[in-house]
């Protein structure tokens, strides 16, 4: 058995691993990227089923950071520029269907009077009492109020996260939720329509699919990537790491940068003081179900949207309309279903059929005859849950691993709820620090 020596081993060739590789290549470093799948991209892959292209749901590129947007715009990809059209679907009393604006605060104006008043009263009560919140459940109630909690935030978040909202920390709020000011909210309910979260109101998307972004980044580092190489064991011997992969290959490296899901890494690494499992590391897995229509057919009600949230008893919590991301794509939707409860007992075909049944029931699909293709894929570790107490455990694990030159970066690697712009920024900020630490321990 031959052992291949190198300075740096990057685990995983999702966007984080690839962006690390691009930078390491520019710096002339000696590195390898080990990826378990036969294809790069991780969560940023584009699937092809027949003539239909589809992603693991939404992959819209937008950012608060000008620098991140400048980076994505600088890549010579053909982008489609879009004004975001996102809605919340509500299947109300007497089967009345509403498609209201997202974020929900902006859509309250479109609700029936009773619901509208409950949302406004709850919002004002929360602002007046100003109670301190310790978790997501309390924050929703205190900051958005009982109306918004009842009509959207609690049912939707319970559906996607599959845990008690009191178990989710306020990190989710600071990372993802930006409530409108009271004045803006009231104005939007009774007077003028407002645009929520301005930096998200426009986005870009590669016309050939999000995979094109990863393929482009891969272009100069192809020889450094080893596909179909699932990392199985990481052993520390003196100042070196030995890495065994699934096909029998063995690598030796001075340092490891891991972007693979942290809970998977912990199972493979033996270092004293590190446990194999931590109860604070919780996550969700997701089924992605695509439905492609025959040419000329359209989805009803939501055909022009980019994506739509569902808080009711539909099996899915979100639908993405791929044909609005790129006008090169045929009419295709992707439904997302969290792996939980009775879903765990269903076969993939049963889940696919349940999605189609709900699409027909709520009227998004006119008839079965319009369908040309369906497909389903399960993806693990789609959403790391920002659980209460997570940060202390993360710091403990990170410090212990870094002592042994094993560094964590990325959405799943560092168990962060970050988007593609966050990946770019984290790699930009953390790689110089990592290289410095190893050069001057």
Choose the binding region for ligand FAD from 42-50, 135-143, 234-242, 341-349 (rule: CB under 6 A). Answer: 42-50
Shortest distance (Å) from residue 13 CB to ligand FAD: 5
104 vs 288, which CB is nearer to ligand FAD? Answer: 288
85 vs 297, which CB is nearer to ligand FAD? Answer: 85
- Tokens at residue 9, please? 């081993």
Helix (H) or strand (E) holding 304: none
**412 touches ligand FAD (CB under 6 A):** yes
Q: Answer for the pair 9, 229: CB distance below 8 angstroms, yes or no.
A: no
136 vs 420, which CB is nearer to ligand FAD? Answer: 420
Could you identify the residue written with the tokens 């000011």? 181
**16 touches ligand FAD (CB under 6 A):** yes
Instruction: Tell which one of 410, 424, 430, 434 touches ligand FAD (CB under 6 A).
Output: 410
Instruction: Tell which one of 106, 218, 338, 419 touches ligand FAD (CB under 6 A).
Output: 419
- Tokens at residue 247, please? 């096909």
For helices 182-190 and 113-129, angle between their N-to-C axes, nearest 10 degrees: 170
SS3 351: helix
**382 touches ligand FAD (CB under 6 A):** yes
**56 touches ligand FAD (CB under 6 A):** yes
In order of 38, 49, 293, 323, the CA distances from 290 in angstroms are: 21, 9, 10, 12
What does the DSSP 8-state code read for residue 294? P
d(CA 259, CA 10): 7
**17 touches ligand FAD (CB under 6 A):** yes
d(CA 192, CA 188): 5
189 vs 431, which CB is nearer to ligand FAD? Answer: 431
Choose the binding region for ligand FAD from 192-200, 292-300, 391-399, 410-418 (rule: CB under 6 A). Answer: 410-418
For helices 211-218 and 15-26, angle between their N-to-C axes, nearest 10 degrees: 30
As to burial, measured by CB atoms within 10 angstroms (0-12 exposed, 13-18 middle, 19+ buried), residue 425 is middle
**425 touches ligand FAD (CB under 6 A):** no
Phi, psi dihedral angles at 23 (to 5 degrees): -70, -40
Instruction: Tell which one of 8, 9, 31, 59 touches ligand FAD (CB under 6 A).
Output: 59
Residues 162, 163, 166, 168: what is their CA dihedral angle, to the nearest 10 degrees?
A: -80
Of 402, 409, 404, 401, the C-alpha closest to 429 is 409
Instruction: Tell which one of 80, 158, 230, 285 touches ligand FAD (CB under 6 A).
Output: 230
**58 touches ligand FAD (CB under 6 A):** yes
Instruction: Tell which one of 8, 44, 257, 385 touches ligand FAD (CB under 6 A).
Output: 44
**323 touches ligand FAD (CB under 6 A):** no
Of 255, 266, 261, 271, the C-alpha closest to 434 is 255
**Binding string, 131-150, against ligand FAD, x = CB under 6 A?**
--------------------
**82 touches ligand FAD (CB under 6 A):** no
**33 touches ligand FAD (CB under 6 A):** no
Query: Using CB under 6 A as the criterion, which residues of the chain lie in contact with ligand FAD when the complex forms?
Result: 11-17, 34-37, 42-44, 56-61, 230-231, 259-260, 264, 382, 410-413, 418-421, 423
């Amino acid at each position: 058995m031959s052992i291949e020596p190198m300075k740096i081993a990057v685990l995983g060739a999702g966007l984080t691993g690839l962006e690390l590789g691009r930078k390491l290549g520019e710096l002339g470093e000696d590195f390898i990227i080990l990826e378990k799948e036969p294809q790069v991209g991780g969560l940023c892959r584009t699937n092809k089923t027949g003539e239909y292209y589809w992603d693991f749901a939404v992959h819209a590129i937008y950012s608060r950071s000008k620098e991140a947007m400048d980076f994505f715009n600088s890549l010579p990809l053909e982008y489609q520029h879009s004004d975001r059209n996102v809605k919340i679907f509500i299947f109300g009393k007497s089967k009345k269907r509403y498609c209201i604006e997202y974020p929900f605060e902006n859509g309250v104006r479109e609700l029936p009077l009773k619901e509208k008043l409950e949302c406004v009263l709850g919002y004002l009560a929360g602002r007046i009492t100003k109670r301190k919140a310790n978790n997501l459940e309390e924050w929703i109630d205190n900051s958005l109020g009982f109306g918004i909690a009842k009509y959207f935030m609690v049912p939707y978040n319970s559906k996607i996260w599959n845990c008690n909202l009191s178990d989710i920390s306020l990190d989710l709020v600071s990372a993802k939720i930006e409530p409108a000011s009271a004045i803006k909210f009231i104005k939007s309910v009774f007077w003028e329509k407002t645009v929520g979260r301005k930096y998200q109101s426009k986005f870009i998307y590669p016309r050939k699919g999000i995979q094109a972004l990863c393929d482009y980044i891969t272009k100069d580092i192809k020889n450094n990537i080893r596909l179909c190489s699932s990392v199985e064991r990481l052993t520390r011997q003196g100042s070196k790491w030995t890495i065994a992969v699934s096909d029998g290959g063995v690598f030796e490296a001075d340092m490891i940068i891991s972007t693979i899901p942290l809970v998977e890494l912990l199972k493979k690494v033996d270092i004293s003081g590190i446990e194999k499992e931590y109860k604070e590391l919780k996550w969700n897995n997701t089924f992605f179900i695509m439905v492609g229509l025959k040419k000329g057919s359209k989805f009803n009600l939501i055909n022009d949207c980019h994506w739509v949230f569902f808080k009711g008893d539909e099996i899915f919590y979100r639908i993405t309309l791929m044909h609005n991301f790129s006008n090169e794509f045929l009419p295709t939707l992707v439904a997302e279903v969290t792996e939980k409860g009775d879903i765990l007992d269903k076969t993939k075909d049963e889940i696919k059929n349940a999605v189609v049944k709900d699409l027909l029931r709520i009227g998004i699909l006119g008839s079965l005859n319009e369908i040309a293709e369906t497909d389903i894929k399960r993806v693990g570790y789609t959403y790391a849950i920002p659980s209460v107490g997570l940060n202390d455990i993360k710091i403990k694990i990170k410090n212990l691993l870094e002592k042994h030159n094993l560094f964590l970066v990325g959405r799943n690697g560092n168990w962060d709820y970050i988007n593609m712009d966050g990946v770019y920024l984290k790699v930009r900020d953390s790689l110089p620090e990592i290289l410095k630490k190893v050069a001057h321990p």
